[in-house]
Amino acid sequence: MSAAAIRQADNSVEIALRVHPRARRAGITGIHDNRIKLAVNAPPEDGQANRAIVKLIAATLGVASRQVEIIRGATSRSKDVRVTGVTLAEAVERLLP
């Protein structure tokens, strides 16, 4: 898998995601167009999927949900999130098997 989906940005890391809402199982499912494929159970209505994405990324990286922010693509399947409190090496290790 490619680490191009995760990049250093000031005191945080930015992660490029491709999201599959309403999935049977939540989790990281691979890479698509240099984006980490992420499946969530929640539907893409009323921000439910976005909240599920934040919780899943926070749990995977071992940070609080408040440290994860969707910075681009709030209404799109392609999203960019910013995570503080984690290094680039830690993010790559935990997100890319």
Q: For residues 91 and 47, what is the distance between their CA atoms, to the nearest angstrom?
A: 24
What was the pLDDT predicted at 2? 58
| pLDDT value of residue 86 | 96
CATH homologous superfamily for 3-91?
YggU-like (3.30.1200.10)
Domain locations in the chain as residue ranges: 3-91
Res 61: pLDDT: 97
**Which pLDDT does position 38 carry in this prediction?**
96
Going from the first residue of the chain to its last (97 residues), give the mean pLDDT of each consecutive group of 10, the final group possibly shorter. Answer: 81 96 95 94 96 97 97 96 96 89
pLDDT the model gives residue 77: 95
pLDDT value, residue 89: 93
Vertex 25: Cα angle to 21 and 28 (nearest 5): 80
